[in-house]
Copies of this chain bind each other. A is one copy, B any other.
Amino acid sequence: MFAALGDPTRLAIFDRLADGKPRSISVLSDDADMTRQAVTKHLRVLEAAGLVQNHRVGRESQYAFCPEQLAEARAYLDQVAGRWESALMRLKSFVEDGEA
């Protein structure tokens, strides 16, 4: 997941889709300075990470923002931050009260 967002191009695409509007591959390719195929690959990576969903309509394939994995990422960061904070607390009480 982090790896998927780690590429600047993918992050840009993801960010763009965050307005909820689904977009076709060619639309997304238009203002990316690279080939449609390259964009396609990035979209597949985002899809594999669960950050984006795809469904074909007629001859075009629409990619849309997908919030679930995003929540998971936030949860992970919260958890890490939480662990760190509680470690700080333990350190603090150790210093204040003398060793436990």
- Stretch among A15-23, A27-35, A36-44, A55-63 lining the B interface: A15-23
Residues of the B chain whose Cβ atoms lie less than 8 Å from the Cβ of A74: 74, 77-78, 81
A3 — nearest CB in chain B belongs to which residue?
A: B6
| Interface of A: prevailing SS | helix
Tell me the smallest distance from the CB of A25 to a CB of chain B, in Å. 21
The copy count of this chain in the complex is 2
Confirm or deny: A7 has a beta carbon within 8 angstroms of a beta carbon on chain B. yes
Bound CA span A73–B70, Å: 12
Residues on A facing B (Cβ under 8 Å): 2-7, 11, 14-15, 18-21, 65, 67, 70-71, 73-74, 77-78, 80-81, 83-84, 87-88, 91
